[in-house]
Structure 1
């Protein structure tokens, strides 16, 4: 039977439209997904792939082998909230005035705090990430991504500043709390206003991973950004009886003991031998494995960018001093390397080289422009003012790649709960100068030869010190950084 010319033309047109729609759908599916995993208080040496011999992290180690491990990755702050804000905004905390953990004492309340007899009154800070900031999540949301958050938020004192108002479609557990401080803490019931209680005794890191895996299962056909923000391994130190017993036996088998060096305001742990902390690390690693399994189950590994990071250095000088960051000096709350250098892994199967270690200095503000670029959102990106991060794309694509940044900066004008003092830092080409506000004193280290910051060169490399200090002071002025003030006692 002959087909009329009109019917034939219609069929041709329909075929063309079907092809166009199919191509459009294929292109939509080619948008890479993003899994961003951030661990709380997780130290540079807390990963097997970074050298730990006591903690067991097979899933994170596997992730490191599948991508690029950065050995000189930094947080924007030695405490949590400022770093978390820097990831979301791409800006230095000194610019957004998010310089301390949200809930820390403000200068007008210092007389009622343990800092009241210190030489300085800490600088004022903003206890909320401003809603005016165009967050990383909002950029992905506006580009058509499904956005999901699970875990610790700690970027706003009140509910209007929580994840669902900062670019996330779904918020599981993200509130103003800096730790799992409700209910039975790390075990259900949690009494968290943004997460239903699970069965009694359910362990929080596994619950957060299961929620993330369920989101992936439900959105495997949509481009998505899933931000898994563990409360682990923040205090309180709590793990299962089974895991604690496992590491008590391992500790005894290895004949490990608790060892400390007393030169800090609090004792600094020098051995990784804390059984409860080790159990928390393993549980978190198991949770990471659940998320990776969900990607494999849904055949999404080749179309998913995975980032693994920490919000500050390991807790080694206070609150039980559960971990050691050696060879790095000090830990959380300090401006030495132990407080700001952390593990960072990028993995994207088929797109990023596998099993590579990169020693380029990178920092938490860099995630913002990097993920925007890798996801191909540059053309639709609305911008977020003048961001401070640099795209790491050249480092991810080529081992000899480089970025055009000349220096890194830190500004922490507060007293850390862990013993650290108000200070600012500049690092350039391996030289690191720390300026302390209490006594206007500087320390200078060459990290290329002295990663442990044991040899202060301030009286030897005077020209280098003068140059770096002048550059640091200029940066502080340009960013209008808030400064501590003398505590003039009546």
Structure 2
């Protein structure tokens, strides 16, 4: 295990309840849905999809009104969560592209050094999980340079897939299917292996208890991990990355039946979200039963906006998954930590998945520094009512798109064209101001260029050498298409 250069205070053991002693350090749970749109949850106004447990949990904490995924695609956002860095720094430019480089200092490693047990459950999508045989999108002997399992990043326990799976009966699919939506398979129906497996921390394929609702399959592994560490009096980090409602979208017959009078696609999309919601409720009930809820930090978000051609909703925001307009990157999100944060509050400041890492460090009392630059900043003060603006702009890049968000203004770039919006006054990006505010465009354009030049330095190995650079043989992905400053 590599040693990070992050230095934190040690934890203090104090009695919390009659069940056992528990550290003062909070347990940390990071929950992420996959392709869940801003408008797909009740706490953001959806009146069709039933998400009562998410809604109740959100009301017990702080809802972020302007929360951004670091990218409009899965892998880059996930890299930002674990590192606090822009995904372009480590070459995770898109889904199924690049890996979370071993030299990156991850939240899991940092907490492990502080005595935390660390577990990752559900989707991984930051490298392949086996060198033997074909698995998912990139796994197997043909791609040895992409092998990059959770054990390389400070995890004690893992139950993970490399990428997507059907959200019901995740290991199989009907012999004939459209790859997007189908009803749950019935006895006697012709099926085949889907082609993706669950893997444990030692690199073994897991074949037991992997049928039925996928969110339940994941939570079945999370709860024993939590209980085991409660008995050991050990704080824990549990990263729970659900697959729902990413395609292939399948709901159990019971959950699909909750949505009568709509299309098959809607029944399965809505149903798998409600199934995921029930598992969040199951998690919260377990935390309360073990006396852990009050001192557990829970962060929930989606990895990007809803997929094109699905019933997913970005609300009234412009764009969907893959777009750097608001609908592709503004996602549902909340924070719950009953020990400190107030209930029933909203945060108006822009926050991002890059902020997770520094926020947790802030809560743990980190006062040191790291040789690797962090792009995020702690949103702890926002959750506690501060109205002071964030000190760092938010940067986004995907394909030939770029964007920078500083205070109320957002500059959007795509293949040589610029758009400028006042997101506070015009959240749905209807009024392009780039022609009437040239100085603001020039200012934000400079930030965009300068930051991506800095990201390229990191990508080229400036901070930690070129071993992974040479291993991956990646070329830098420019969003600017050779445009000059």
Maintained 8 Å contact 1:89/1:384: no
Residues 356-409 of structure 1, C-alpha deviations (whole Å, 9 max, x = no match): 011110111110011122133x26x77361111101121122x13435424211
CA distance in 2, matches of 1:352, 1:314: 29
How far, CA to CA, are the matches of 1:278 and 1:460 in structure 2? 43
Q: Number of residues paired by the alignment?
A: 405
Q: Among residues 85, 88, 103, which one is paired with 1:94 in the alignment?
A: 88
- 1:436-455 maps to which residues of 2 (within 5 A)? 436-437=414-415, 440-455=416-431
Counterpart of 2:363 in structure 1 is 374
Partner of 2:172: 184
**CA 1:91–1:201 in 2, change beyond 3 Å: closer, same or farther?**
closer
Q: Tell me the CA shift for residue 42 of structure 1.
A: 1.1
Contact preservation (8 Å) 1:210, 1:290: no
> Are the equivalent residues in 1 in contact too, given 2:51–2:277 (CA < 8 A)?
yes
Q: In the alignment, does 2:322 pair up with 1:333?
A: yes
1:93 CA displacement: 1.3
Q: d(CA) in 2 for partners of 1:135 and 1:452?
A: 34
* Pairwise CA distance, 1:58: 0.6
Describe the superposition over 1:187-220 as per-residue Cα deviations: whole angstroms up to 9, x where unpaired: 9997434363345742110111121112112211
Gaps of 5+ in 1: 1-22, 104-126, 252-256, 259-272, 415-421
Q: Cα RMSD between the aligned structures?
A: 2.5
Matched, 1:350 2:339: yes
- Tell me how far 1:50 sits from its aligned partner: 0.7
Which structure's CA Rg is the greater one? 1
Change in CA separation of 1:203 and 1:464 when aligned onto 2, cut-off 3 Å? same
Work out which of the residue numbers 375, 378, 395 in structure 2 matches 1:409: 395
SS of equivalent residue, structure 1 residue 425 = strand
Q: Does 2:116 align with 1:145?
A: yes
Q: Is the 8 A contact 2:159 2:199 kept in 1?
A: no
Mapping for residues 312-331 of structure 1, pairs under 5 Å = 312-315=304-307, 317=308, 320-331=309-320
Match of 2:8 in 1: none
Q: State the match for 1:431 in structure 2.
A: 409
Distance 1:280 1:224 in 2: 28
Partners of 2:156 and 2:48 lie apart in 1 by 39
1:213 matched to 2:223? The reply is: yes
SS in 2 for 1:144: coil
CA distance 1:384–1:62, change in 2 (3 Å): farther
Deviation sequence 1:307-352 (CA, Å, 0-9, x none) = 111111122x2xx322121211121111110100011111011311
Q: Which residue of 2 aligns with 1:482?
A: 477
Which secondary structure state, in structure 1, belongs to the residue aligned with residue 118 of structure 2? strand
Give the TM-score normalised by the residue count of structure 1.
0.77
Change (3 A) 1:51 1:128: same
Instruction: Please give the alpha-carbon distance, in whole angstroms, between the structure 2 residues aligned to 1:460 and 1:467.
Output: 14
Distance of aligned partners of 1:66 and 1:469 in 2 relative to their CA distance in 1, 3 Å threshold: same
| Structure 1 residue 247 corresponds to structure 2 residue 247 | no
Identify the range of structure 1 (447-456 vs 462-471) with the bigger mean alpha-carbon deviation.
462-471
Closer, same or farther in 2 for the Cα pair 1:223/1:442, shift >3 Å?
same
Cα pair 1:35 1:306 within 8 Å, conserved: yes
Instruction: Give the CA deviation at 1:49.
Output: 0.5
Between Structure 1 and Structure 2, the one with more helix by share is 1
Q: What is the 5 A alignment of 1:270-285?
A: 274-285=266-277
1:123 is matched with which residue? Answer: none
Local SS of the residue matching 2:100: coil
CA shift in 2, pair 1:382/1:138, >3 Å: farther
Q: What is the match of residue 46 of structure 1?
A: 40
TM-score normalized by the length of structure 2:
0.78
Cα distance, 1:342–1:60 mapped onto 2, change above 3 Å: same
Partners of 1:133 and 1:384 within 8 A in 2: no
Indicate yes or no: 2:369 matched with 1:393.
no
Are the aligned partners of 1:139 and 1:382 in contact in 2 as well (CA < 8 Å)?
no
Q: Which residue of 2 aligns with 1:162?
A: 149
Structure 2 counterpart SS, 1:435: strand
The separation in 1 between residues aligned to 2:158 and 2:423, in whole angstroms, is 40
